[in-house]
Each structure stands twice: as structure tokens, then as C-alpha cells.
Structure 1
């Protein structure tokens, strides 16, 4: 075939068009990839809250003598937690049985504070149990409970913790309970205010798990340092045989409603967990629904991991709960809902 100048020109022109088309295709593909990347959630998104470890998650190894409660900060640090939430009963018996309880308490606090500083974890709060019924209708009994709690207010102040968590047990008659609970809680909150410590009530069974009634009490106390600590799972109102713990729950407050009602007064949050499926989702609680309620309330403080399951070891359960909180919390934060 004879190659003429005209044919050479035609071949070059065809080649030019071909290169241009592929170039445009490549550019479009690149633009499309860029657009797709822009709408994807931010890979480095973090939860909208901070993570703390509730000491109760480790109650089994502590009761078994496998973990010294004095080493709690070190354990939490090993598991990459930013904050710690102490349980008073892990220290109270040793303090009470000593020859000099005040001196023993100070030694415990000195050690806990030093450990928290050594392992760089924040002391968030102390969960106080076994110090009397703040909602008792008996004035003498109620006032004694207030006095018993004061040493833990002082302890929180020394440790730099922002709060103590209290139970609000007492009368089982709603109106009487509201009156007694308001009086006991207000008296303790007035003392705590002088120490710059908050007094938080957890939904922890019986009338304290009736969120609507509890919010009435908090609003009746009407103090800035008196609030709630919503727990994801403790909404049992009655148990078989009238038992306070362990027995089967026979009446429960609507948990999602309860969390939503408590959140406007929340100064801490407890992420209870019991069991997980193969996908890492909690099988009894809708974590995305709950954390959406927490986020919508504008809460950005600590969320404490409190695993209470039987099918995983404490460490495995803590890890599963933490990972789920990070996953869901990051998703909600990146979605900016």
C-alpha cells in the first residue's frame, strides 16, 4: 500500500483523538474517585466521648484474689483506658477493720493517687455502695447514711475525681420515696458542693430505676452538682421474692425511654454489657440507639465500660465493649448527627 502525506496525516489525527479520549476517561475516573473519597466517612473519626473503665468489670478476678484493687490504674492503663471508676466496697472493709480507719483510708488514697499519676489515667468517679440508705423515710437512718457517704466525697476530692455515684434506696412507696430521697440527696450534695464534687444517682434498682421519678427528685434537689449516671442496663423495678439483687427481674422500666429521660441531668454514663454475637454487637442492648440518645443530649464526657457477662472472660468482655463503643461512637461522630 502506498503511503501518501494525506494518509500519514490521517493516522496522526486518529492517534491524537485516541489519546485524548483515554485522557478524558482517566480524568473522569480520577474525578469520580475523588468525589467518592469526599463522601466517605472520615477514617480517623473518633468517638464523641472519652473512655473509662469501671472497676466492677474486674470484680471476678478481684474477688478471686487474682487482681489487687490497688493495681486498678495499672490494669486500666494496660487496656488503654483514659479514665478509671473506682468501687468503694473493694477498699471499705480493709479500711473499716483497721486499727485506725482514717489513717488506713489515707494510705489507700495516697496509693491510688500515686498509681493513677504513674500510669497516666484520670480518676473519674467513685461508685459508693454499702454506706446506708439515702432515701430512708427514717430521719435518723437517712442522716447517718449522709454522714457515712461524706468520707467518699472527701476521697473523690483528694483523688481529683469529679463525682461519687450513690444508690438511692429507702422507701418503696413512690411519694414517700421522692420526699426522703430529695432530703437525703440534697443534704449530701450540699456537703459535696463545698468539696467541688458531684453527687450522681444511678438507676440501680427499685424506685431508683424509675427514671421519671428519679428525674423529679433531681429537679427537686435543684443543685448544679446533683445529677444522674444513666446505666444502659439497670432498669429492673422488681425482682422475685422482693430481692434487691440476683433474683429474676419481674418488672422493668423501658430502658431506652429511661436513658433518654436521665440524659439531660447526666454527668457520667455507664455502658453496661452482657453478651456479644460473632459480629461484635451486644445481643441485649441496641448500642447505636443508646449512644444516639447520649450524643443528642450533648454529652461528651466519660463513658465507663462495665461488662457483667458470663460467656467471655472479664478482659475479653471489657475489650468487646470498648471496641463496640469506639465503632458506634466514631460512626455517630463522623455522621455528625
Structure 2
């Protein structure tokens, strides 16, 4: 991204931050009203720097969200990687969210292997590794876990392998009434045509997508148009991740056109949560307000 784009983004967020102070604390005083369009949630990765540095403790994530007028959250397992089976820790997470009126939506899972690994033993191990997170998601009150559809090999073979791993995991999730959803998250998974084929092959109501506006970069110099990609993946969406930077189909990154993208989301009949995953901790109020204002203009 070139320097003018960075400056435009900073100027935009600064302007929105000023609008927050001028408009008062309408959203900070309580639960979001149901707009009939979509609600706003907070993805934990938004504050990953503060979590990694220890400035913010994972157990305080729900409080960070509520302090900024957001009452639904999406966890990332990286920040409590060794706690999936720690009942006392999960109970504390749940209590803190419940006490604040914060709803737990999604548990995003990383670093548990490739769901489409060409080696069957490794693929099965990846499925097994994710089962504990389904259990944790169920306990916390989430509706879904998010997984990555990583694989290797030719296009069709990766479709087959990823679908096999996802099918196994989805069957287990269905027993717990937990969805298994796939984010476009690098490699072929960031090609919406490929990911759509995978979901179609799994063909299970509990297996869906988590379209991420800003994750359509396939590899260096190759990307899938974000607007077209979101439209392609929305039929299976059980969540939406909002980033303020998107891609064209030629490897170029640019600022998000909020209204254009959100019209695509709503046109698909989606009225769930749109998760903030941009702006960082310092700009949480500005990020929330930017999304609220775009929603009001729709």
C-alpha cells in the first residue's frame, strides 16, 4: 500500500475519532440496538499486539469490547492455546463475558495442523486437534469455530482433501450443534472459487464460511477481488470479518468502500454480526463508529 493510502486511512480514523467525542457515548452506554441490518462484534485479533505484549490480558477481552460499546466477541485460540481443556479458565472467560452482557460468537482456531493435509494420518490428527476447541466453543456459548482450509497439491486434489477433513470435523461439530466455518485465509482458501467448491463438496448445513473483506491475497502478487469474493462466499456465511483494506484481482490493495461491501453482505440476506478486525486497540471507538455510520447510510 502506498503512503498516500496510509495517510488517507489515518486521516479518516482521526476524523471518526473526533466524531465520537462530538456525538457523545450513545453506543457506549449499553447494548447495541437491533438495526434490522446487522450487529457489530469485535474480533480478538484486532488487539493482538496488546495481547502479545501483555498490555491486555486475554481474560479482559470481553471488558475491552464492552468498554468500547461492543457486546459480542470472537475469540482467537492463540491467546489461550493451552486452556482448551482448562475448565476453570473457560469458566472464568464465560463468567466475565456473561457479567458484562457480552455474547460469545466464534472461536477462531489456528496452529492445529492442516485440515486438508495430503497425509491422511496428519489430516486425521488435525481433525482431532480441533475437537477440543469445539468442546470449548460449546461451553462458552459460541455458535461456530473458525478453521483454516490449508492443503497442498493441484486445485482439485486440494478441494478433495480439504473437504475430507472438514467433513470429519463438521460431523463432530454437528453433534454439539457447533458450526465449522472456513475463513479465506491465504493460499487457495483466498480464492473464493476454490473455497466455494470445498464448501459445496462438504454439503453440510453446519459447514459454512467466514468471509473476510481483507484476506483475499492468495500469494505475493496474486489476489482475488474482495467484493467479488465476499459475494461468492456469502451464501454460506455464518459470520463476517470487516477489514478496512481490500484487494482487486491484480494484487493491489486499497481502502474499503464500506457501503459497497455492506450492500453485498445484506443482499445475501445476512443480518448477523459483522466483526471488527481493523484499526487496532487505539482506534476501537473510531472503527466501531465507522461501521455504525456506514450501516446507518444503507
TM range (shorter): 0.7 to 0.9
- Name segments (4+ residues, structure 1) moved above 3 Å: 44-47
Structure 1 residue 325: deviation in Å?
1.1
Aligned to 1:236: 217
SS in 2 for 1:228: strand
Superposition pairs for residues 113-262 of structure 1, below 5 Å? 113-239=94-220, 250-262=221-233
Residues 274 and 316 of structure 1: is their aligned pair in 2 closer, same or farther, counting only changes over 3 Å?
farther
**1:22 corresponds to which residue?**
none
Q: Over alpha carbons, which structure has the higher Rg?
A: 1
Q: Does 1:291 align with 2:262?
A: yes
In the superposition, the TM-score normalised over structure 1's length comes to: 0.74
Task: Please list the CA deviations of residues 254-291 of structure 1 after superposition, one character each: whole Å capped at 9, or x if unmatched.
Answer: 1111000000110100001359xxxxxx9611111100
Is the 1:47–1:331 Cα contact (8 Å) retained in structure 2?
no
CA RMSD of aligned residues (A): 1.8
Contact 1:55 1:85 in 2 (8 A): yes
Q: Secondary structure of the residue that 1:304 maps to in structure 2?
A: strand
Corresponding residue for residue 329 of structure 1: 295
Instruction: Summarize the Cα distance change of 1:45–1:219 in structure 2 as closer, same or farther, 3 Å threshold.
Output: closer
TM-fit CA distance, 1:204? 0.4
Q: Is the Cα contact below 8 Å between 1:189 and 1:199 reproduced in 2?
A: yes
Corresponding residue number in structure 1 for 2:45: 56
Answer yes or no: is the 8 Å Cα contact 2:191–2:216 preserved in 1.
yes
Q: Is the contact made by 1:48 and 1:295 (CA closer than 8 Å) also made in structure 2?
A: yes
Q: Which runs of 5+ in 2 are unaligned?
A: 1-32, 247-252
Q: In 2, distance between residues paired with 1:48 and 1:222?
A: 27
Distance 2:163 2:44 in 1: 28
Q: Distance in 1 between matches of 2:271 and 2:198?
A: 24
Partner of 1:303: helix, strand, or coil?
Answer: strand
Please tell me whether the aligned partners of residues 306 and 318 of structure 1 are also in contact (alpha carbons under 8 angstroms): no
Contact kept? 2:213, 2:245, Cα under 8 Å? no
Cα displacement (A) at 1:326: 0.8
Separation of aligned partners in 2, 1:169 and 1:66: 32
For residue 47 of structure 1, report the CA deviation from its aligned partner.
6.4
Q: Compared with structure 1, are the counterparts of its residues 327 and 182 closer, same or farther at alpha carbon in structure 2 (3 Å cutoff)?
A: same
Count of residue pairs the alignment pairs up: 260
Query: How big is the shift at 1:323?
Result: 1.1
SS in 1 for 2:277: strand
SS of aligned partner of 2:241 = strand
Question: Cα deviation per residue 1:276-330 (whole Å; 9 max; x = unaligned)?
Answer: xxxxxx96111111000001001000110001x5xxxx23332222112111112
Q: State the match for 1:78 in structure 2.
A: 67
- In structure 2, what is the Cα distance between the partners aligned to 1:174 and 1:45? 41
| Residues 167 and 202 in structure 1, CA contact (< 8 A), matched pair in contact too | yes
